[in-house]
Every structure is written in structure tokens, then in C-alpha cells.
A and B are shown apart, each in its own frame.
Chain A
Amino acid sequence: MAGVAVTNVRKSFGAEPVLADVSLDIRDGEFLSVLGPSGCGKSTLLKLIAGLDIADSGEIRVGDRVVSGVDARRHDVAMVFQSYALYPHLSAGRNIAVPLEMQRLNGFRRLPLLGRLLPGTGRIRAGIRADVEATAAQVRLSHLLDRLPRQLSGGERQRVAIARALVRRLSVLLMDEPLSNLDAQLRVAMRGELAELHRRTGLTIIFVTHDQAEAMSISSRVAVMMKGRLQQVAEPRVLYDRPDNLAVAAFVGDTPINLLPARVLAGGTVEAAGVRLAFDGVPETAAGLQMGIRPEWLRPADAAAADTWTGVVTGVEYFGAEAVVRLELKGGHSMTVRWDGDWALPATGKAQPVRIKPGRGLLFAASGDRIGEVRPADAGLAVAI
């Protein structure tokens, strides 16, 4: 078993920095997602850990071995690729067997025909076959081992790729957007299977994805990466409730976070679009602030009051379990509110007051960093004048 430690890794392609001083500790047995928009450097980071590319500087350890600069074959990590990368001319079973063949058979024993005549080859091959079958059973592939990749569905190919990564029983598994080629339903099912696989095997998994819902739902921790820098590494819940900066807050969450321009009043009170909230630790001189409010932190109020925002309903999207209501506030700010499916839906064009749940609300400085803490629930009710 092994964790992975990335320390001060830099990588650039030409003059373009792809990874700028990335440090990341992945604990033994952890399921860590690296989340970010495409081109943020997350796949490059994975390649460096796998040894498929070489970092300009910095150190990478797998377990207690330094692997940066070492040949990929000796990194002892397995990887599942986005395109599955199966050998098209080999059956599923033989695809899974390749890592074992390369490991257990030497060059002579791998020779076609001739290799089989060497004493002992048969015994080794029987061992490989047994291990392949055991691994295939683990991912429910046993009945498909004779098929060629092109005769398999996307989900089945995916499982072959996973089996091939598991067969050597290495302790670190890297996954590069493994679910993005599957259709929506299968993706959700595979998510569950991966979580289950992780529970069963105790592998250290590093999972790269651009899909925040995927990252949030299966990982023990998520590392958000943007423009070659790690923005925040935290458990999904922390990432969602207390994002370190505006970029993370905006990237995480199905429905985008509401942002309102805010200014500091005396006594730690912050005003945004006419509503005042009490914050601690906000310098009175701060300017260019923005208040972040997740759509589900808002709920409808019966009547307009000092602690409510009132907006005209411009759109309602109903999904069954929930609805998304869009409001337009005075001053042209738009606001999205997540409505419970049970609540009466507001009519478009009507004025609708909404109130923030106690203890909720984020404040971002002009630099984008989160500052201040909203005052805890009992004391933090919106301050009426």
C-alpha cells in the first residue's frame, strides 16, 4: 500500500507553464479527485505521476520511493485512460493478461511459438490465466474474455480497462476521465461501481475529471485545479460550503453560485443589494467585495422585509424533486433560487421575496479570495434596521 506525494512540481510546454509549483499529498487508500476545467493541467499532473512525462522540477514519490525521472515501467502505478486504450487486436482476456506477461515472462518466453517450448512457460502462463480470470470475475467480465474490444460496449470496454489496471495488484490507480465516454445513466452506475471497488480494494485512487458532480460524489477529497495551480484541496463538503476563492465557488455546484456586489458598513455589517448580513473579520476598508450565495441557501419569504431580497420571477425550471427559480433584483442583478419540489411554484412576472438561511453566506475580496466569516446562526440572522 502506498500514498503519493507531489512536491513543488513544475512543468511547462515551451513557454507555456502547465503546472506552476504544484504540491499535493495523497494519503494511502484515499480516493482523491483532481477537478478542473479542460486545459488546467490535471491530466499533465496524472501523466507525471505515471511517469509518462517528466517534470521540469520538483519531486514525486509513490510510497517511499522517489519516482520522478524514473522510467514509467518502474513507477508501479496502474492507469485507466479516457479512451480505455485497449489493444484492438487482442481479446479482452489477453488485454488483461498483458501487464502480467510483461512482468512474469522474459523476452525469450514471450517469443511467439518458440517461447512456449521453453520449460516452465506453460506453468507461468497457467498462473497468468488464473489471475486474469480472478480479476475479470471481480469486475464481472468472466463471460466476455474471448471478445475483441470492438465487440464490446463502452461500459464493457471500461471494465476491461479497469481489470487490466487491477491485474498486477499495484496499490496506486490513476484514472484519467474514465467515465466521460459513457452515456449519462451508465456513468452514474459506474460511479457507484468505482466507489464500491475502492471500498473493497483499499487502493489509492487518483481520479481526474472535469465533472464536479462526479468528483464530489465519489471522492474522499477533491483537489480543484485551475490554470496549473491547485486552488483548494478539501473534502467535498468543505469545498462546497467554504470554498477558498471565487473560482472554486463558481466551479463547484450544479447550479452556479449567486454573486452580488457588496460593501462593508460599520460594525462588521455587509450590505448586498439592500440586505445586510453580519460578518466577522472583514476589514472596513475592503472594497470591491462580492457576496456569494448558493441557490439552495435561499428560501421564499411570505412578504418583503428588511432581510429579504425581492425580485421579479423571470423563469422557473421544474425538475420534479426540485425547481430552479430565476429572479431579477432591482439594479439588474439576477439571482437563482433552488426551490423544493413540494413548495408552490411562483408565477413568472410576479415579485417574489427570498431570505437567506441563517449562518449562510460567503464573502469574497476583490482578489477573489474568501474573507470574513458569516456570524453563526443564532447571532447571524440578517440585521434588521
Chain B
Amino acid sequence: MARRPDQGRGSAILRHAVLALATLVFCIPFIWMLLTSFKSRPDIFNGGIDPWPRQWGIVENYSRILFDVPMPRYLLNGAIVCLGIMALQILVAAPVAYALAKLKFRAARWLLPLIVVALAIPAFLPTLPLYLAFRLTGLISSSSGAFGNYAALILPFSISAFGVFLLRQHFKSVPDELVHAARLDGMSDWSIVWRVMVPHARPAIVAFCIFSVVAHWNDLFWPLIVISDNTYATPPIGIIAFVNESVGGGDYGPLMAAATAVTLPIIAVYLLGQRFMADGMALMGK
């Protein structure tokens, strides 16, 4: 049905106005965070609610989080943990999803429902058994080093029921003939997973990676339980440590600078992924 052009323009303006307003509402805390990280200490406490800094404190705030607190170290930890989790999740989920989607075996019938059940289990539920398991294996102890700490942070998340389920749905849409062709071309099941299935499901994998990185970058609960040494703290733990030791009641400038430093990588990951995701989606169209 053709719409009158003026009617279309009017509703378009309305739509965009609503969207812009919503965007603003969601962005205000972040903008506030960013601007506060630019303000000097007196400005923060005396400046009223004027958002724009009158007395700049950029150098002072950011040099504190860069040099006085091991913020770069926390960010590095976060990157190691998130990339480790992501890589393991894909490494596990892709072959499992392939088996569930394309291979015929008797157990497949009850394995899939089990995975759906696993999806429904709250993340907090297995915390205690997991913690005990890590204690028993000795990976968590007062003396555990880099390996133990990173392992404790990464391993519990290496199997993602959500990842398996998501990839299985996408792998199912790969035509059987393509799998057959790959077999006749000499590919093993392992090769088929990485050379046929994964490229085919690239948009889904990118989306899953973003989801995974964002979730684990921001995760506070599990790291809080297993981190015994702040050298291996992830960014959220780093911020808590920072609040505890130096800010006490009032040093909001550096705190907001730290929060900004923690948020930026996430935004970067999202923007990067979004571009790839768009590419991937474009590939889907014939």
C-alpha cells in the first residue's frame, strides 16, 4: 500500500524523536561518567550539577588510574579472561553443535533436551560445587599463581549451553548436500566443523562472541569468589578494589576515569563486532 509522502515524513520524524530520546536516556549515565572523569576534585563537589567541567582534571584523574592503581593490569586480565572464555566456548560449542545438528547417533535425542535444561539453570546455582571443585583440584588456593587464577576464572565458562544451542540452530540450516560434498572432497568431521560449518554460521558466531565478551567482561560474581590475589583481578574487581583502598568516600574523578577505562573496550568490541555482523548478514543474502 502506498503511503502519502507527508504522512511518511511525519511519522518518521516522530519515530526518530522517540528513538533519540530513548538513546539519550540510556546514554546520560555514561556521558555523566565521562564528564565527571574530566573534572577536578573540587569541581566535582562544588560544581553543582553543571555537566560541563569548569576546572579540568583529566591528567590528574587518568594518571592516577594509570600509574597509582594497576588499571592497565586489570584491563589486561579482563582481555585474557574474556578471550580465553570466548575461544574455549567456540572450541567446545562448534563441534558439539555440529554433532547435534548433522550427525546421526542415538543419544542425540536426549542430549538436546538436556542442553535446553542446562540453559534454564541459573548461573548462580552451580557456584558452590564449582568453587569446591576448584579448591579440591588446588587451582584456587592462597598460593595459586597465574595459571591457577586464570584457569579458575576461565574454565567454569568454557562450556556454554547457550552457545551450543545457538550454533546448533545455525548449523542445522547448512544443506546436507554441502556436508556430503565436503566429505567427498576428503574432509573429516573435524575439518567440516571448521571449514564448512563455522564460516557458514559466521554471523551467529560473531553475535555470540559479543554476547560472551560483554557478559564476562562485566562479570563480578564469580571473579569475586575466586580471586585471591588482586594481580589477577578483572576490571570490575579492580574498580571495587580501587573504591575500597583509595577512594574511601570521595575520590570520584579517578573512579569515573577507571569506569570509563573499563567501559571503552566493551564499546570498541561492540562497534567492531557490529561491523562484522553486518558483513556476515550481507553474506547470508544470496
Contact = CB atoms under 8 A, between A and B. Distances in A.
Interface string A70-108: 001101011101110111110000000011001100000
A86 B177 CA distance: 9
A79 B200 contact: no
Nearest to B174: A88
B177 A102 contact: no
Given A88-B200, A88-B283, A79 B181 contact: yes
Contact of A103 (B175, B186, B200): B186
B180 interface: yes
Contacts of B202: 89
B186 A99 contact: yes
Contacts of A47: 180
Contacts of B186: 73, 98-99, 102-103
B272 interface: no
Given A72-B183, A164-B185, A89 B178 contact: no
Contacts of A83: 175, 177-178
A73 B283 contact: no
B185 A102 contact: yes
A77 B184 contact: yes
Given A81-B177, A83-B175, A102-B191, A89 B185 contact: no
A330 interface: no
Given A87-B196, A88-B200, A89-B283, A82 B177 contact: yes
CB-based closest 5 A-B pairs = A102-B186, A85-B181, A85-B177, A89-B199, A99-B185
Interface in B196-227: 196, 199-200, 202
Contacts of A81: 177, 180-181
A98 B185 contact: yes
A73 B185 CA distance: 7
Contacts of A77: 184
B199 A85 contact: no
Interface residues of A, number: 24
A78 B177 contact: no
Given A73-B183, A79-B180, A88-B200, 12 more contacts: A73-B184, A75-B184, A78-B184, A81-B177, A85-B175, A86-B181, A87-B178, A87-B196, A87-B199, A98-B182, A99-B186, A164-B185
A50 interface: yes
A180 to B, nearest CB: 13
Q: Is the interface of B mostly helix, strand, loop or mixed?
A: helix
13 contacts: A73-B186, A73-B188, A75-B184, A83-B177, A85-B175, A85-B181, A87-B178, A87-B196, A87-B199, A89-B199, A98-B185, A99-B184, A102-B187
B286 interface: yes
A52 interface: yes
Interface of B: 175, 177-178, 180-188, 191, 195-196, 199-200, 202, 283, 286
Nearest to A161: B181
A229 B222 CA distance: 63
A89 B175 contact: no
Nearest to B284: A88
Given A87-B196, A89-B200, A52 B183 contact: yes
B283 to A, nearest CB: 7
A51 B182 CA distance: 12
Given A88-B283, A89-B199, A50 B184 contact: yes
Contacts of B181: 79, 81, 85-86, 164
A350 interface: no
A99 B184 CA distance: 8
A289 to B, nearest CB: 45
B124 to A, nearest CB: 39
A150 interface: yes
B178 to A, nearest CB: 5
Nearest to B104: A53
Nearest to B181: A85
Contacts of A103: 186
Nearest to A99: B185
Contacts of B195: 87, 98
Contacts of A89: 199-200, 202, 283
A335 B227 CA distance: 90
Nearest to A165: B184
B279 to A, nearest CB: 11
A150 B286 contact: yes
Contacts of B196: 87
B184 A79 contact: yes
Nearest to A50: B184
Nearest to A104: B186
A138 B249 CA distance: 79
Nearest to B286: A150
B184 A52 contact: yes
Contact of B184 (A72, A87, A88): A72
B195 to A, nearest CB: 8
B178 A85 contact: yes
Interface in A36-85: 47, 50-52, 72-73, 75, 77-79, 81-83, 85
Contacts of B180: 47, 50, 52, 72, 79, 81, 85
A79 B196 CA distance: 17
Contacts of B200: 88-89
Contacts of A78: 184
Contacts of B183: 51-52, 72-73
B252 to A, nearest CB: 46
A150 B200 CA distance: 13
Contacts of A85: 175, 177-178, 180-181
A77 B186 CA distance: 11
B193 to A, nearest CB: 13
A75 B178 CA distance: 18
Interface string A117-132: 0000000000000000
Contacts of B182: 87, 98
Contacts of A86: 181
A4 to B, nearest CB: 15
Contacts of B199: 87, 89
A82 B180 CA distance: 12
